[in-house]
Amino acid sequence: MDGSEALKEEIQPNRKENKKVHEPNKRNIWQEMKKNYASYLFLTPKLILFTMFIAIPVIWALVLSFQEYRVTESNIFVGLQNYIASFESTMFKKALWNTFRFTIVTVPFNIISALIIASLIFPLGKLSQNFFRSAFYLPTVTSMVIIAMVWRWMYNYDFGLFNHILGWAGIESVNWLGQSNSALWALIIMQCLIPFGVGIIMYLASMGAISKNLYEAATIDGAGPIKQWLYITIPLLKPTTLYLVILSTIGSFQVFTQIIMMTGGGPDGATETLVHLIYKTGFRDFDFGLAAAQSVILFGIILIFSVIQFRMLRHDD
């Protein structure tokens, strides 16, 4: 490393000048900016798109959440009214509770099963490894719209595959998606049975990075494979696990496609989720202020979870 640093110094004589950027000298900064005009040009296209379609909309959403949106006249500020209305609405509370239940069951299940599947795949030969990795990742590249369509068909009360299978076992048909006490569970079961392909691939990559010496030492000390898995593999995979937990928690809080394709939030709000409710409030009722407030609440929830997560990640390093 030291050699290449020295080399850089040699061919980049103006490097020392660059360091002056950090000094509080206005003229120098201006000169630096002028000298680096090309860098700014390189950033320009992305920055324009980013400002137009991310930065402005995000700020705008915050503003809108404090407004009552009127199409004809100007919007009026109503303070926290949209937020209060959200938390007072039974449907919103239902959506919050359903989204939470969906997340609390599917995220741990998906992550634990991804860890187990990856652990089973890892010791296999290259060919089998590739085969199983593809088999488990294939459903992830397929659009959720397609997955939801076929699950709706498999859950069909009269002709669906699942009720036929139950019939073979002598169990009465279940109206999976049609009754309020089973609909959310049907969606949860579906989410659990779709393999968490991203997780499996990330775990496999991280397992490859664990030093073999650790396992050899453990074997000499007489630890069996299960003990090695519990005391070496799992602790060393912790950063990956935390990354995956936050990734799938965020994804789970945003569950939408299954809902609109399979139940439409019904029956009687039993499968209403936050994002589906935002969609309905905004683009069926066109209550933009309320929808904006609901989406800011969603962001708040995700932010709280993410901050906790990042804290844990940093603590680990």
Partner 1 sequence: MKNNRQKQINRLNRMLIYVILIFFSVVSLLPLYWVFSTSMQLDHYQDIDMERPVSYVDSNPPKMYPMGFKLYFEHWKEAREAEKVGDSELAEHHRGMMSHIIDNTFYTFKSLFTNHDIGRWFINSLYIAVIVTFGILLFDSMAGYVLAKKRFPGRDVIFWIIISTMMIPGQVTLVPMFIMIRDLGLMDTHWALILPDLSMVFGVFLMRQYMYSIPDELIEAAKIDGASEWKTYWKVVLPLAKPGLAALGIFTFMNVWNSFLWPIIVLNSAELHTLPVGLKTLQDANLASFKLLMSGAALAAIPMIVIFLIFQRYFVKGLTLGGVKE
Q: Name which of 176 and 288 has its Cβ closer to partner 1.
A: 288
- Return d(Cα 252, Cα 245) in angstroms, integer: 10
Query: What minimum distance in Å lies between the beta carbon of 46 and partner 1?
Result: 4
Which residues does 274 contact at the CB level (< 8 Å), separation at least 6?
95, 96, 99, 253, 254, 294, 297, 298
Q: Name which of 168 and 181 has its Cβ closer to partner 1.
A: 168
Nearest CA among 242, 214, 240 for reference residue 228: 214
Which tokens in the block code for residue 76?
């009026």
Nearest CA among 111, 89, 76, 141 for reference residue 244: 111
Query: What minimum distance in Å lies between the beta carbon of 227 and partner 1?
Result: 15
Angle (deg, nearest 10), helices 288-316 and 238-253? 180
Query: What minimum distance in Å lies between the beta carbon of 221 and partner 1?
Result: 18
Query: What minimum distance in Å lies between the beta carbon of 232 and partner 1?
Result: 18
Say which residue the tokens 């110094």 belong to.
Answer: 9
- Return d(Cα 248, Cα 198) in angstroms, integer: 10
Query: What minimum distance in Å lies between the beta carbon of 45 and partner 1?
Result: 5
Query: What minimum distance in Å lies between the beta carbon of 188 and partner 1?
Result: 16
**CA-based R_g, the chain, Å:** 26
Q: Name which of 270 and 297 has its Cβ closer to partner 1.
A: 297
Query: What minimum distance in Å lies between the beta carbon of 268 and partner 1?
Result: 20
